Chains A and B, each alone.
Chain A
Amino acid sequence: MKRWYDALPVHRKLVAVALATTMLALLAATTGLIALDIWRYRISAADDIRSLAQVIAENVAAALAFEDPEAATETMATTRVRPAVIRVCLYLPDDTLFASYARPRSEPCAPSPYLSPGWSMLSARVPVTRNGRALGSVVADRDLSDLGARIAVTAGAGLFTLILAGGLAFALAQRLHRSVSTPIAELAAAARQIGSPSYAIPEIHANPDEIGELVQSLTGMMQRLQDANNGLVKEIDERRRVEAERETALVREREAGRLKDEFLAAVSHELRTPLNAIVGWVQILKMGDPDPDTLQKAVATIGRNAHAQARVIEDLVDVSRIVTGKLHLRFQALDLRLPIEAAAELNRPSALAKSIVFDVRLPNEMCYVNGDADRLQQVVSNLLSNAVKFSSAGGRIELTLQRVEGAYEVRVADTGIGISADFLSHVFERFRQSDGSMTREYGGLGLGLAIVKELTELHGGAVWVTSGGPGTGSQFLVRLPALVAFDSARAEPAPEAALSVSALSGVRVLAVDDNSDALDVLATTLATAGASVRTARHGREAVAKWNEDPADVLLCDLAMPHMDGFAVLAMIRSTRSGGGVRAIALTAHASQDYVDRSAAAGFVGHIAKPFAAAELVAAVARAAAGE
Chain B
Amino acid sequence: MLRFPQFVAWPAAAFATRSTLEICVNGPGASVTALREITAGETLNGMRLTVRDNPSERDVASCHVLVMARPSRELMAQVAHLPILTVGDGAAFLDDGGIIQLKLVDRRVRFEISMPAAARAGLTLSSQLLRLAATVRGER
Contact = CB atoms under 8 A, between A and B. Distances in A.
B43 A62 contact: no
23 contacts: A59-B128, A61-B6, A61-B7, A61-B128, A62-B7, A62-B129, A62-B132, A63-B128, A63-B132, A65-B3, A65-B6, A65-B7, A66-B3, A66-B132, A68-B132, A130-B6, A131-B5, A131-B6, A131-B44, A131-B45, A132-B43, A133-B6, A133-B44
Contacts of A131: 5-6, 44-45
B124 to A, nearest CB: 14
Given A61-B6, A61-B128, A65-B6, 16 more contacts: A59-B128, A61-B7, A62-B7, A62-B129, A62-B131, A62-B132, A63-B131, A65-B7, A66-B132, A68-B132, A71-B132, A130-B6, A131-B45, A132-B43, A132-B44, A133-B6
Contacts of B131: 62-63, 71
Interface string B27-49: 00000000000000001111000
Nearest to B5: A131
A237 to B, nearest CB: 116
B135 interface: no
A137 to B, nearest CB: 17
Q: How large is the interface on A (under 10, 10 to 19, 20 to 34, 35 or more residues)?
A: 10 to 19
Interface in B40-66: 43-46
Interface in A519-553: none
Nearest to B6: A130
A59 B131 CA distance: 10
B102 to A, nearest CB: 11
B108 to A, nearest CB: 8
B45 A132 contact: yes
Contacts of B45: 131-132
A65 to B, nearest CB: 4
B72 interface: no
Interface in B53-90: none
A65 B4 CA distance: 9
B126 interface: yes
Contacts of B3: 65-66
Given A65-B3, A65-B7, A66-B3, A132 B46 contact: yes
Contacts of A71: 131-132
Lowest 6 CB-CB distances: which A-B pairs, in order? A62-B128, A65-B3, A130-B6, A131-B45, A131-B6, A62-B132
A130 B46 contact: no
Contacts of A63: 128, 131-132
Interface in A50-89: 59, 61-63, 65-66, 68, 71
A131 B132 CA distance: 18
Interface of B: 3, 5-7, 43-46, 126, 128-129, 131-132
Interface of A: 59, 61-63, 65-66, 68, 71, 130-133
Contacts of A59: 128
Residue of B43, B45, B126, B132 contacting most chain A CB atoms (<10 Å): B132
A130 B132 CA distance: 15
Contacts of B6: 61, 65, 130-131, 133
Contacts of A61: 6-7, 128
B84 to A, nearest CB: 18
A124 B7 CA distance: 25
B23 to A, nearest CB: 14
Nearest to B47: A131
Contacts of B126: 62
Question: Which of A65, A66, A132, A133 is most buried by chain B, counting CB atoms within 10 A of its CB?
Answer: A66
Question: Which of A59, A62, A68, A71 has the most chain B CB atoms inside 10 A of its CB?
Answer: A62
Contacts of A65: 3, 6-7
A65 B128 CA distance: 10
Contacts of B43: 132
A133 to B, nearest CB: 7
Nearest to A70: B132
B55 to A, nearest CB: 24
B91 to A, nearest CB: 21
A394 to B, nearest CB: 170
B131 to A, nearest CB: 6
A131 B43 CA distance: 9
A66 B43 CA distance: 18
Contacts of A66: 3, 132
A540 to B, nearest CB: 180
Contacts of B46: 132
B45 to A, nearest CB: 5
A345 B126 CA distance: 176
A132 to B, nearest CB: 6
Contacts of B129: 62
Nearest to A60: B128
A68 B105 CA distance: 12
Contacts of B5: 131
A58 to B, nearest CB: 8
Nearest to B46: A132
A61 B132 CA distance: 11
A71 B44 CA distance: 24
Which among B5, B45, B128, B131 has the greatest number of chain A C-beta atoms within 10 A?
B128
Contacts of A68: 132
A470 B132 CA distance: 157
Nearest to B111: A66
A131 B2 CA distance: 12
Nearest to A62: B128
A592 to B, nearest CB: 160
Nearest to A68: B132
A133 B5 CA distance: 12
Contacts of A133: 6, 44
A61 B127 CA distance: 11
A66 B3 CA distance: 7
B53 to A, nearest CB: 24
A65 B131 CA distance: 13
B22 to A, nearest CB: 16
A130 B5 CA distance: 10
